[in-house]
Amino acid sequence: MSEAHTSKPKVPPTGTLEGFQETIEQLYGDRDRLRGVDGTFVWFVEEVGELARALKGSDPRNLGEEFADVLAWLTTLASLAGIRMEDAASRYGAGCPRCGETPCACPSKRTQRTS
Ligand SMILES: [Zn+2]
């Protein structure tokens, strides 16, 4: 097989957020731009609902797929909004964004994550 005959662009490996975002862009970018942010957000919320149901279920394979789908739709939304997921993730790269500590040392009211 010759590289010259392949039309697929090279993408970074999906093991990185950058690579995953590029892969999703190549898979669905054209369709996503046609649908737009509002329509894509509706799909994202739908997938979050499916993840909520999977978390209450007992099918680990389905659960993994729902996590993948939510990540894919979140990543699509980021692309449409001009956000690089790698940059977004870096918010947490130097400790908790609020207190700067690892692990987070914010008062327990904040860390209960009930809000
Ligand atoms: Zn904190």
Give 76-98 pLDDT, tens digit per residue: 999 999 999 999 999 999 999 99
Percent of the chain clearing pLDDT 90 (strictly above): 80
Find the 82 Cα to ligand 1 centroid distance in Å.
27
**Contact call for residues 19 and 11 (beta carbons, < 8 A):** yes
Three-state DSSP class for residue 106? coil
Task: Give the pLDDT confidence score for residue 115 in this predicted structure.
Answer: 45
Find the 92 Cα to ligand 1 centroid distance in Å.
10
Distance from C-alpha of 109 to C-alpha of 11, rounded to nearest angstrom: 42
Q: What is the CA radius of gyration of the chain?
A: 18
Q: How far apart are the first and last CA of the chain?
A: 54
Find the 21 Cα to ligand 1 centroid distance in Å.
28
Find the 91 Cα to ligand 1 centroid distance in Å.
12
User: What mean pLDDT is reported for the chain?
Assistant: 90
Task: Give the pLDDT confidence score for residue 11 in this predicted structure.
Answer: 73
Superfamily of domain 10-111: MazG-like (1.10.287.1080)
Structure tokens, 35: 């649908």
Structure tokens, 112: 């209960």
Find the 101 Cα to ligand 1 centroid distance in Å.
6
Distance from C-alpha of 40 to C-alpha of 75, rounded to nearest angstrom: 11
Q: pLDDT tens digits, residue range 10-28?
A: 777 888 999 999 999 999 9
Give the model's confidence band at 36: pLDDT under 50 very low, under 70 low, under 90 confident, else very high.
very high
Find the 104 Cα to ligand 1 centroid distance in Å.
4
Q: pLDDT tens digits, residue range 54-84?
A: 999 999 999 999 999 999 999 999 999 999 9
Residue type, 44: F
Long-range contacts of 67-70 (CB under 8 A, 24+ apart): 70/44
